[in-house]
Amino acid sequence: MGFLYAETTIAATITFIFMLAAYKLSHMRKFHVGTMVGCMIFDLCMPIYLVLNRDWYGRMIEGGEILNFLLWMHLGLVITLYCLYIMQINIGRKLLAGDKSEKESHAAQAKGIILTRAFVIITGAFLYEAPEPIVNS
């Protein structure tokens, strides 16, 4: 399992590649919508996975990392990403209903989502700490 220490960063990067593909292939509506929704669901589930599988109390409170600027910047980026997702879903629903007047704002927000998500992945990778190796005695 040693090669999977950064599984969250690897998984987020793979879904980011899928998101880029869906952005470029927006004319393929089923692929575009399905992939984007899948990436959004992945991003919503990632904090749940991290809380259930990482020692956050030990790292944040006992380790004193609660005052880490990078951690708060990462949290701010995640909240920004979620807000952009909400706005994008609302505009996407209008587009699917046939309102083409929102097409430009949907495309502009998509660029913001891609940029914000890239920064979320980068800051998350910087915050990653590999677990201590188990030494057999």
Residue 18 placed within a domain = yes
Residue 31 placed within a domain = yes
Residue 137 placed within a domain = no
**Residue 5 — pLDDT band, cuts 50, 70, 90?**
low
Domain that holds residue 65: 2-127
Task: Give this prediction's pTM.
Answer: 0.87
39 contacts: CB under 8 Å, gap ≥ 6? 15, 16, 18, 19, 22
Residue 133 placed within a domain = no
52-106 pLDDT, tens digit each:
888 888 888 888 888 889 999 999 999 999 999 999 999 999 999 999 999 999 9
Residue 44 placed within a domain = yes
CA-closest candidate to residue 129, choices 67, 50, 12: 50
For the chain, how many structural domains are there in total?
Answer: 1
Give me the amino acid identity at 59. Answer: R
Residue 65 placed within a domain = yes
